[in-house]
Amino acid sequence: MPNSPSPQGGGARARMQRWLPKLVLSPSFVLILFFVYGFILWTTYISFSNSGMLPDYSWAGLRQWSRLWNSWTWGIALHNIWIFGLLYIVSCIVLGLLLAILLDQRIRAEGALRTIYLYPMALSFIVTGTAWQWFLNPGLGLEKTMHELGWQSFSFNWLIDSGMAIYTIVIAAVWQATGFIMAMFLAGLRGIDGEMIKAAQIDGAPAWKIYLRIIIPQLRPVFLSAVVVLAHLAIKSFDLIVAMTGGGPGNSTAVPATFMYSYAFSRNEMGIAAASAVFMLAVIAALIIPYLYSELRESRS
């Protein structure tokens, strides 16, 4: 680690200069301590309290947690986030990597194509949800279009099918994030040492084998970052579901984020809402903390 300047010297000015950095950092740090860590503690405490519509600081032990765990909707939400998260992460990575590799073949219009794959990232989930809700609208959207094009038997009504609605959200979410993942992989591909690939070619390895055996294994850090970014986006998924299905039909597309919101602001069950939020935080923390730890440790050397 490079040592930081620590100028010597007495006098008021020098002493000021030594305090200044911490002074400048402190507003942010205090904000974070209060609004992040203070709030985490508060919410955690509430999850063990009797709070309903208003905070009630009397200790309730695991009452809210057992209510949460016995909730039918919470079960659906967990089930959905599991399906959604898995499909979302895997599809984005597979498609993103595929697009990155295809784009890396000295493609003529690479810049334009990259822009096209990437623009959904600029859109809000609400806009994305609005667009896809319309696009997949069973009465007027894709289904009707296919019928008019002559494919009379085509049927696509997942949006209103409680068993399938969650998959429409996966489609929209993947559409939005693939480009970003592609860009990450593309940057990773461009960072690989070209000489190693030349060496493999001289050794006579065919292109697909070079990708499988040499290039893709070297993208491991990108895979890791992609999983972290996507998992984090998946657990926070809220906007897209609200915009596309509102959690419906029925409760069929509920996820922990929508569950928490409705218990917090519609049903006035602060205790359960807090417990569900703490659970979400715990899952993310279990994923993120080791990642951050290893990243920060690496930069130490």
Partner 1 sequence: MSFLHINNIRKHFGETTVLKGIDIAIEQGDFLVLVGPSGCGKSTLLNMIAGLDSISDGELLLNGRRINEVHPAQRDIAMVFQSYALYPSMTVAGNIGFGLEMRKVPKHERREAIERVAKMLQIENLLDRKPGQLSGGQRQRVAMGRALVREPQLFLFDEPLSNLDAKLRVDMRTEIKQLHQRLGATIVYVTHDQIEAMTLATRIAVMRAGELQQLGTPQQVYDDPGNLFVAGFMGSPSMNLLNARIVMVDDEPVARIAAGEGTLELPIVRDREALRGWQDREVIIGLRPEAITDPASANRQDGVIHETSLTVSLVEPTGADVYAVTHLGGRDINARMRPGTQLSPGEQTRFAFDVSRMVAFDPQSEERIR
Partner 2 sequence: MSTAPPTARAGVLSRAILYAILAVFAIAYLMPLYVMLTTSFKTLDEIHQGNMLALPDNWTIQPWLEAWGSACIGLECNGVHGYFFNSIRIVVPAVLISGLLGAFNGYVLTKWRFRGHRIVFGLILFSCFIPFQIILLPMARVLGILNIANSVTGLVLVHIVYGIGFTTLFFRNYYETFPNELIRAAQLDGAGFFTIFFRILLPASTPIIVVTIIWQFTNVWNDFLFGVSFASGDSAPITVALNNLVNSSTGVKAYNVNMAAAMVAAVPTLIVYILAGKYFLRGLMSGSVKG
Residues that bind partner 1 (CB under 8 A): 3, 5-11, 13-14
* Binder of residue 11, out of partner 1, partner 2, none (CB less than 5 to 8 A by kind): partner 1
Among 179, 278, 291, smallest CA distance to 235 is for 278
CB nearer to partner 1: pick between 8 and 70: 8
Among 37, 36, 52, smallest CA distance to 275 is for 52
* Binder of residue 9, out of partner 2, partner 1, none (CB less than 5 to 8 A by kind): partner 1
170 binds partner 2 (CB under 8 A): no
CB 182 within 8 A of CB 99: yes
In Å, how far are 85, 130, 162 from 245, measured between CA atoms? Answer: 17, 10, 10
Q: Rule CB under 8 A: which of 98-137 touch partner 2?
A: 99, 101-107, 113, 115-128, 130-135, 137
* Binder of residue 32, out of partner 1, partner 2, none (CB less than 5 to 8 A by kind): partner 2
Please tell me whether the peptide bond between 221 and the residue prior to it is cis, using omega within 30 degrees of 0: no
273 binds partner 2 (CB under 8 A): yes
What is the distance between the alpha carbons of residues 190 and 231, in angstroms, rounded to a whole number?
A: 25
CB of 187 to partner 1, least distance (A): 23
Q: Please, which residues bridge with residue 59 across strands?
A: 49
* Binder of residue 8, out of partner 2, partner 1, none (CB less than 5 to 8 A by kind): partner 1
CB nearer to partner 1: pick between 5 and 139: 5
CB of 84 to partner 2, least distance (A): 14
CB 51 within 8 A of CB 267: no
What is the distance between the alpha carbons of residues 215 and 189, in angstroms, rounded to a whole number?
A: 7
CB of 70 to partner 2, least distance (A): 20
Q: Which helix (H) or strand (E) holds 69?
A: helix 63-70
274: exposed, middle or buried (Cβ count in 10 Å: 0-12, 13-18, 19+): buried
CB of 292 to partner 1, least distance (A): 24
* Those residues with Cβ within 8 angstroms of residue 18's Cβ, 6 or more apart along the chain or in another chain: 6, 7
* Binder of residue 212, out of partner 1, partner 2, none (CB less than 5 to 8 A by kind): none
Q: Rule CB under 8 A: which of 207-236 touch partner 2?
A: 207, 210, 215, 221-222, 225, 232, 235-236
- Binding test (CB under 8 A) with partner 2, winner from 56, 141, 158, 252: 141
* Those residues with Cβ within 8 angstroms of residue 292's Cβ, 6 or more apart along the chain or in another chain: none
Rg (CA), the chain: 25
94 binds partner 2 (CB under 8 A): no
260 binds partner 2 (CB under 8 A): yes
- Binding test (CB under 8 A) with partner 2, winner from 31, 86, 90, 94: 31
